[in-house]
């Protein structure tokens, strides 16, 4: 068994927070803020890794686009019908596929499959892999288009 690295742990924490936020009906970014404040007085809460915060902010900021991409790649399923943990894993991975240009798309899909193995049902890893593999095919074009867009800092 391979030992999970720091990014894997950061992704797992992000999935946990996305799942918790959806279950509670709150913003995942608010949970990150809350945990960062709480860890000051309660170390058992654990530090929020910068990568965890980065992907949570990304998923939250692009949730409509992420959900639209996911929905368009689900065959015979709808996003609300998926197990909540699978939604969280695939939202995270979809955002990473399009935005985490420092990570190879193959690694992102593999990480999502690993998270599905750890956190979800026996059928989830294959399902997650199938959906994300189709989305990963779009990643190079989306990344290239994003890189070509002029960035304005206001």
Is this prediction's pTM over 0.85? yes
Q: 100 near 70, Cβ under 8 Å?
A: no
Cα–Cα distance, 143 to 148 (Å, whole number): 9
Q: 28 near 53, Cβ under 8 Å?
A: no
Cα–Cα distance, 109 to 121 (Å, whole number): 17
Per-chain mean pLDDT for the chain:
92
Cα–Cα distance, 56 to 62 (Å, whole number): 10
Query: What are 18-75's pLDDT values in tens digits?
Result: 999 999 999 999 999 999 999 999 989 889 999 999 999 999 999 999 999 999 999 8
Cα–Cα distance, 38 to 55 (Å, whole number): 20
């Amino acid at each position: 068994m391979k030992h999970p690295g720091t990014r894997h742990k950061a992704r797992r924490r992000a999935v946990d927070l996305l799942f918790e936020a959806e279950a509670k009906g709150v913003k995942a970014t608010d949970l990150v803020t809350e945990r960062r404040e709480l860890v000051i007085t309660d170390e058992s809460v654990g530090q929020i890794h910068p990568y965890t915060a980065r992907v949570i902010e990304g998923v939250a900021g692009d949730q409509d686009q992420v959900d639209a991409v996911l929905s368009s790649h689900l065959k015979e399923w709808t996003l609300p019908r998926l197990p909540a943990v699978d939604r969280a894993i695939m939202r995270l991975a979809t955002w990473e596929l399009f935005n985490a240009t420092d990570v190879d798309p193959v690694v992102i899909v593999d990480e999502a499959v690993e998270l599905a193995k750890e956190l979800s049902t026996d059928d989830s890893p294959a399902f997650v892999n199938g959906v994300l593999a189709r989305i990963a095919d779009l990643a190079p074009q989306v990344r290239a288009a994003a890189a070509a867009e002029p960035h304005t800092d206001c």
